[in-house]
Amino acid sequence: MDPTAAEKELGERARPRRGEELELEIESLAQGGRGVARANGYVVFVTGGLPGDRVRARLGKAKRHYAEASAIELLRPSAERVPDRCEHGGEPCPGAPWQGLPYERQLEHKSAQVDEALRRLGGLEGFELEPIEAAAAGWRYRNKLEYSFGARDGELVLGFHRRGSWREVVDIDDCKLASEANNTARNRVRKWARTEGIPAYDRPEQGGVLRNLVVRDSARTGQVQTRLVTSPAQFPRPPVDLHTVVEGPGGGTDGPTGVLGAEYLTEELAGLRFRVSPAAFFQTNTSMAERLYAVAADYAALRGTERVFDLYCGIGTIALTLAGRAGEVWGLEAVPEAVADAESNARLNGIDNAHFVAAQARLGVRPLLEQAGQPDLVVLDPPRAGLSSKVVRRVIECGAPRIVYVSCNATTLAPNAAQFREAGYTLRRVRPVDMFPQTPHVECVALLER
Ligand SMILES: C[S@@+](CC[C@H](N)C(=O)[O-])C[C@H]1O[C@@H](n2cnc3c(N)ncnc32)[C@H](O)[C@@H]1O
């Protein structure tokens, strides 16, 4: 259920107030992963609550027909709950909100969420929902984590923001979603910062120095890349590869970046080697990215002669893994550094039928169509927001008989697939892939044909 459905479903009722504490029984899980509870029929979406739990929850936003709340005490855990494995300072890891759910249940919920989104938000039916691809590893699968600096009792801490708080940072020694190498790298930078006495940046005060640390690593090449994000300030040379300076009180980790060590990370995937720039996107679960691309390749059903467009191609991973089975592949991507990586990755792997273009999808697809000619297949892998209506129209203009849509958000895939249906495409197959165990996130691949 989502907030809109809650509004429709319920009549007007007495409204609980922000800050109020309620005892709630969690009945089910909503799209996005929060628990759903009812207080006198009034729907409450509870962060930190799993089906079968009884929790004390504090209300945040309270709208006319639904409210949002955070569980502050687990009064009676669901009989199904498995013990938390990743905790920091006695609190469950904010990065693993579903770790209390048995893994089989996580898979069932994810599959059901994809199915529900397509049917209810897209009005789609008649497609085959294939069994969800389970993750190869439940823990230590993330190859990238972004940590925040903070202060607690006068000591510098480095970890994650406490759930629902942008101020408080929980110190971390071992995050079990991250590899051991990633944890070691983070702890080394924290030790350096404490030894040098460099303070964390304080947003309300707009003082201090250290903001974030981004650690990327590759289990396959053994490389680790560290990027420190600070305010403009003088301090001793940090033990990191990259140093980004961000001005002003806003969040975010983008800014001018100096290179102190290795600029690129090298990763191996599907038998190919990939250079990854700090500004470029790379799938955060390498072994499951391989499985995701294998599903995309299966749906693509290439025979060796086709022209393929890979829109939102990042560093060219999908285009390059398909290149050996296609006549030619064309990648389009907005971030110029990622396009430079994609070109370099084609050379690195001796692939000569791949071409890449740096452009926004809404502006770049028409010129690409003119330059390359009509594609036999369009692969789409947009960010969470999905495709704008304009981009959907540009893709329809490509006239490809087959579209393979890789989506990290079924609630945006659904309306996009419905728009493609209006243009004569049929949604044939959908396969969810679990890239993010212990979290509500689910990736899926969809095949549309006309
Ligand atoms: C989910 S990632 C997929 C990347 C790649 N297919 C992969 O598997 O690694 C989405 C990509 O779309 C790019 N992007 C975001 N907005 C875009 C736009 N308007 N036009 C083109 N590319 C865009 C991002 O930079 C990112 O590389």
Mean pLDDT of 312-319: 98
Residue 11 has pLDDT above 50, yes or no: no
Residue nearest to atom 1 of ligand 1 (CA): 383
Side chain identity, residue 35: G
User: Is the shortest distance between the CB of 57 and ligand 1 below 6 Å?
Assistant: no
pLDDT at 10: 46
With a 6 Å cutoff on the Cβ, whether 316 touches ligand 1 is no
Average pLDDT over residues 88-95: 86
What mean pLDDT is predicted for residues 7-28? 76
Provide the pLDDT for residue 398: 98
Instruction: From the CA of 293, give the closest atom in ligand 1.
Output: 8
Q: 364 CB less than 6 Å from ligand 1?
A: no
Average of per-residue pLDDT across 55-76: 92
Give the residue with greater pLDDT, 197 vs 2. 197
For 67-72, what is the mean pLDDT? 92
Q: Over the stretch 173-184, which tens digit does the pLDDT of each residue have?
A: 999 999 999 999
User: What percent of the chain has a predicted confidence (pLDDT) above 90?
Assistant: 86
Residue 372 CA to residue 308 CA, distance in Å, equals 10
Band of residue 227 on the pLDDT scale cut at 50, 70, 90: very high
Predicted pLDDT of residue 89: 82
CA distance 218 to 195: 28
341 ligand 1 Cβ < 6 A = no
Nearest-CA residue for atom 12 of ligand 1? 312
Task: Write down the mean pLDDT value for the chain.
Answer: 94
- Active-site positions read 408
Distance separating alpha carbons of residues 394 and 133, to the nearest angstrom:
31
- Ligand 1 contact, 132 CB (< 6 A): no
Q: Which pLDDT band holds residue 62 (cuts at 50, 70, 90)?
A: confident
Q: Tell me which of 16-20, 265-269, 370-374, 402-406 is least confident.
A: 16-20
The rounded percent of the chain whose pLDDT value lies above 70 is: 97
Q: Lowest-confidence range among 92-96, 98-102, 213-217, 390-394?
A: 92-96
| 231 vs 253: CA distance, rounded Å | 11
Which pLDDT value is given to residue 167?
81
Q: Residues 132-171: pLDDT tens digits?
A: 999 999 999 999 999 999 999 999 999 998 876 778 899 9
Predicted pLDDT of residue 1? 55
8 Å CB contact between 133 and 431: yes
For residue 4, pLDDT beyond 70: no
* pLDDT score of 42: 87
Residue with the larger pLDDT of the pair 367 and 18: 367
Residue 289 banded pLDDT, cuts 50, 70, 90: very high
Q: Which of 177-186, 203-212, 296-305, 309-318 has the lowest mean pLDDT?
A: 203-212
pLDDT at residue 232 in the model: 95
Predicted local distance difference test score (pLDDT) of residue 44: 96
CA 3 – ligand 1 centroid, Å: 28
In short, whether 149's Cβ falls inside 6 Å of ligand 1 is: no
Q: What is the whole-number distance in angstroms between the Cα of residue 9 and the centre of ligand 1?
A: 37
- Per-residue 3-state assignment (H helix, E strand, C coil) for the chain: CCHHHHHHHCCCCCCCCCCCEEEEECCEECCCCCEEEEECCEEEEEECCCCCCEEEEEEEEECCCEEEEEEEEEEECCCCCCCCCCEECCEECCCCCCCCCCHHHHHHHHHHHHHHHHHHHCCCCCCEECCCECCCCCCCCECEEEEEEEEECCEEEEEEECCCCCCCEEECCCCCCECHHHHHHHHHHHHHHHHHCCCECECCCCECCEEEEEEEECCCCCCEEEEEEECCCCCCCCCCCEEEECCCCCCCCCCCEEECCCCCEEEEECCEEEEECCCCCCCCCHHHHHHHHHHHHHHHCCCCCCEEEEECCCCCHHHHHHHHHCCEEEEEECCHHHHHHHHHHHHHCCCCCEEEEECCHHHHHHHHHHHHCCCCEEEECCCCCCCCHHHHHHHHHHCCCEEEEEECCHHHHHHHHHHHHHCCCEEEEEEEECCCCCCCCCEEEEEEEC
Task: List the residue whose alpha carbon is closest to atom 26 of ligand 1.
Answer: 314
Ligand 1: which of 272, 277, 312, 441 to mutate, judged by most atoms within 8 Å of the beta carbon? Answer: 312
The mean-pLDDT minimum among 22-26, 39-43, 116-120 falls in 39-43
pTM of the shown model: 0.93
pLDDT at 17: 84
Given pLDDT bands bounded at 50, 70 and 90, which one contains residue 12?
very low
* Mean pLDDT of all residues in 298-311: 98
